[in-house]
Structure 1
């Protein structure tokens, strides 16, 4: 599997990583969820080179994760806003934050906490079944081939899982 060809793989994780799988892209998305929208804000907050930032923002726009929206007419100035597709990455970012807070924080604890606005309590993400609303762990999931699975591949249910 070549990095440049991840978007062609019959694997949803590989296809997603083709769009958001490098460290700068995830950090840019983190800042988007923190309300950063303008190129110069990203550049100053992240210390990223203009070339790399331009490349990552362009890729996110091309893939429909961000949209360029004018905020000034003369001269034309645009900012980057999360699309529905981009906002759908919120659970992914929250899961990474929770993992980082749990396993990577120092003795002081989490650098930021997330407060659920409606109830006012600190929260962490939980995965639940979309049907029964029960909490789901890795051991609670069985994998079966879906309609996008190539028939020439070994079925996912035929493989032995080593993480269960």
Structure 2
């Protein structure tokens, strides 16, 4: 996977995995494209119809997601257009998308306000994600810290 940025760009914080991730996929449209790819969208038209995004912005974000190894692009069976599929790295973002969704369910809606629900193959809502320590105990921001590199 190519984890470089465009010419003239620099990493926000070269030693921080969160900053690098945000540099690669942290804008609104990229995350929504990834979300929709996880929900089955594969063509430019599907992404465009689902998101209502300007065509030039969609073209740019799809290109960047392909360049950074988040999506694969291949010729569609009709040969006139392309299809997009999540790479292994793109699929690996599922946990992050679920965490953002669950945060949104708790903090971005008024009590009782309707919203979509993510369910498993049997139609059951996913349990809340919680980081766990090596011994299985729940972790919080207060109970963890970042070890800086030298």
Report what 1:124 is aligned to.
127
Show CA shifts across 1:15-40 (max 9, x none).
11111111111111111111111101
Larger relative CO (CA 8 A, sep 6+): 1 or 2? 2
List runs of 5+ in structure 1 lacking aligned partners. 152-164
Matched, 1:18 2:29: no
**Contact 2:133-2:139 at 8 Å conserved across structures:** no
Q: Tell me the secondary structure at the aligned position of residue 109 of structure 1.
A: coil
> Are 2:107 and 1:108 aligned?
no
SS at match of 1:143: coil
1:67 aligns with 2:72: yes
Q: Hey, what's the Cα distance between the residues in 2 that align with 1:10 and 1:103?
A: 30
Number of equivalenced pairs = 142
Match of 1:133 among 127, 130, 136: 136
Instruction: Report the CA distance shift for 1:135/1:111 in structure 2 as closer, same or farther (over 3 A).
Output: same
Distance in 1 between the 2:71 and 2:63 partners? 9
TM-score, with length taken from structure 2: 0.82
RMSD: 2.1
- What is the aligned counterpart of 1:77 among 81, 95, 102? 81
Q: Is the 8 A contact 1:71 1:79 kept in 2?
A: yes
The match for 1:87 among 88, 91, 94 is 91
